[in-house]
Amino acid sequence: MNIAVFEQFFADCVGNWQSDRTYHYLTHNEIERSRTTFQVESLTSERKARVLADNAYEGLNNLERLPGFSLGFHTISETGEEVKQHLNLMFVPKSENDSIIQGDYLRDRAYEEARPIVSHFSFDSHTRELLMTTNYTRVVSVDSIVLANPTLRIRKILNYEKPPTGQPLQNVLLAGFGVEQKYG
């Protein structure tokens, strides 16, 4: 049952989305609004193999069963700053208990640092929340996507100052919130 909800979550994410977001920069007391359009396509097995190779991630078979996306996006901030990016990403489930599926989240290009990266994800099949945690060089990014229904996602992004090894996340540098609506 949990795997079916997990697979449906990813099937529902394919398409074109528009996101209106607000970012709160807590280090310098600034608020920024932006609009992003996303084009989300299923990732082919060939591209999945490339993402795995880019991350030196080995030992996987049956790539067609693993969810993944080819993601293009274009963001325009209220100040006129534009960012365009395209990346490939995939999810490798490793464990499942109760309603939670956990595993690795791989990208051929990370958001904060332009390099391949392996992160952690958890998915709650009751709330349909995908939580992705990425340890970058200076920050830890915790990104949440809640699929409210097949055409509406609620997004939350928290960037923490990277704590010393073994210490909990504490100092929030950025908080972002968004509403994402599918339009095609």
**Owner of token pair 């074109």:** 16
| Phi and psi at residue 79, to the nearest 5° | -90, -5
Which residues lie closer than 8 Å to 167 by C-beta, 6 or more apart? none
pLDDT tens digits, one per residue of 118-144: 999 999 999 999 999 999 999 999 999
Instruction: Find out whether 182 and 148 touch, Cβ atoms under 8 Å.
Output: no
Query: Using alpha carbons only, what angle is made at residue 123 by residues 118 and 126, rounded to the nearest 5 degrees?
Result: 175
Which residues lie closer than 8 Å to 72 by C-beta, 6 or more apart? 38, 39, 84, 85, 86
Confidence (pTM): 0.94
Q: Give the domains, in start order, of the chain with CATH numbers.
A: 2-182 (2.40.128.20)
Q: Using CA atoms, how far apart are residues 159 and 140, in angstroms rounded to an integer?
A: 6
> Which amino acid is located at 93 in the chain?
P
What counts of helices (H) and strands (E) characterise the chain? Answer: 2, 10
pLDDT tens digits, one per residue of 69-83: 999 999 999 999 999
Using CA atoms in the order 180, 30, 74, 39, what is the torsion angle rounded to 10 degrees? -20
Predicted confidence (pLDDT) at residue 184 exceeds the cutoff of 80: no
> Which amino acid is located at 105 in the chain?
Y
pLDDT at site 3: 86
First-last CA distance in the chain: 28
pLDDT at site 62: 85
pLDDT at site 98: 87
